[in-house]
């Protein structure tokens, strides 16, 4: 009976030590960031929604969801140039980030506009949710930050990536589309009097109010 008690105590101690080691490895892997290998063969990778997941390494390699693989690839392939710059509030969360766009020509030239990207768990089968965080007077962006861009709606396809969305956003600054508006007042002014529309844009970029709405000073 004494021997059985000793075996039981040894088993309990071993289980406690294993649990302690597992917790330490998970903690270290989360601090190390996506793709960091752990001492016991586990691999910490970035999970959809910003959660670090610990997966066990098998002979076939690390098991990852298609969404995790795609967003990590898209981020590594970003080619924003001088017009757009990515910002990651949490470097360990690739599913929620900002793209800062500074148009180099057109009516909004000189301004700085922040767009927030939120990646869904079933990406790339669902388009990212993109919101303009900078108040702007624009036919295709409303005052709440919603964006009228076809590839964010019905024309999104899983083969598309983050770069294509950024190109689409930049194009809205160079060629706004008043025929598919979200800000109908801005679109109507653009169609009827483009010069006056341009004056309103310049006024709002300088931080003045228009039609009861206050705009941030960007110039």
Packing angle between helix 194-205 and helix 184-192, nearest 10 degrees? 130
- Catalytic residue from among 80, 109, 132, 148: 148
Measure the CA–CA gap between 149 and 168, rounded to whole angstroms: 7
DSSP-derived 3-state class of residue 125: coil
Closest C-alpha among 175, 110, 95, 180 to residue 140: 180
In terms of phi and psi (left: phi > 0; alpha: psi -120 to 50; beta: otherwise), the region of 217 is: beta
CA distance 203 to 105: 17
Task: List phi, psi (to 5°) of 15.
Answer: -65, -40
Number of H helices, E strands in the chain: 5, 9
Q: 109 an active-site residue? A: no
Write out the catalytic residue numbers: 148
């Amino acid at each position: 009976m004494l021997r059985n008690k000793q075996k039981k105590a040894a088993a309990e101690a071993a289980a406690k030590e294993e649990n302690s080691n597992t917790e330490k490895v998970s903690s270290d892997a989360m601090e190390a960031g996506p793709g960091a290998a752990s001492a016991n063969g586990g691999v910490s990778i970035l999970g959809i929604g910003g959660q670090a997941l610990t997966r066990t390494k098998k002979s076939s390699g690390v098991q990852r969801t298609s969404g995790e693989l795609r967003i990590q690839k898209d981020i590594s392939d970003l080619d924003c140039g001088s017009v757009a710059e990515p910002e990651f509030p949490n470097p360990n969360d690739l599913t929620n980030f900002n793209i800062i766009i500074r148009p180099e020509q057109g009516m909004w030239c000189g301004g700085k506009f922040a767009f927030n990207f939120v990646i869904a768990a079933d990406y790339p089968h669902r388009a990212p949710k993109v919101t303009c965080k900078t108040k702007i007077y624009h036919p295709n962006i409303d005052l709440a930050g919603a964006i009228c861009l076809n590839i964010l709606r019905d024309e999104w396809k899983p083969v598309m990536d983050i770069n294509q969305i950024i190109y689409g956003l930049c194009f809205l600054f160079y060629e706004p589309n008043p025929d598919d508006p979200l800000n109908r007042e801005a679109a109507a002014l653009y169609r009827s009097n483009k010069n006056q529309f341009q004056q309103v844009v310049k006024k709002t970029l300088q931080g003045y109010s228009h039609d009861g709405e206050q705009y941030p000073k960007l110039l």
